[in-house]
Amino acid sequence: MINKNQSALRHPSKCAMRTGFVTAIIPGVMCVGGVYFFHIGVITAGVLYNLSLGAGVGNAMLPKLRSKSISKS
């Protein structure tokens, strides 16, 4: 019998897909907008990009981390 959490791993929810999209698009728009409108430097844009990369990786790993914590219980 498949429980609700295992089913969520097989079929990613729309919320997780939307979060992945947002963590990919919004920082890029912020970098471009920041360079043109707020005159941020290359270092600041790089830091923002790396923070968004970490957020995207965390979002991608979240279902696996949740399944491990559920299976230990």
Choose between 13 and 63: higher pLDDT: 63
* Domain residue extents for the chain: 35-73
| Residue 2 CA, distance from chain mean position | 27
Q: pLDDT tens across 32-60, in order?
A: 899 899 888 889 988 988 999 998 888 88
Distance, in Å, from the CA atom of 31 to the CA atom of 3, rounded to the nearest integer, reads 42
pTM of the model: 0.64
What would the mean pLDDT of 2-16 be, rounded to a whole number?
59
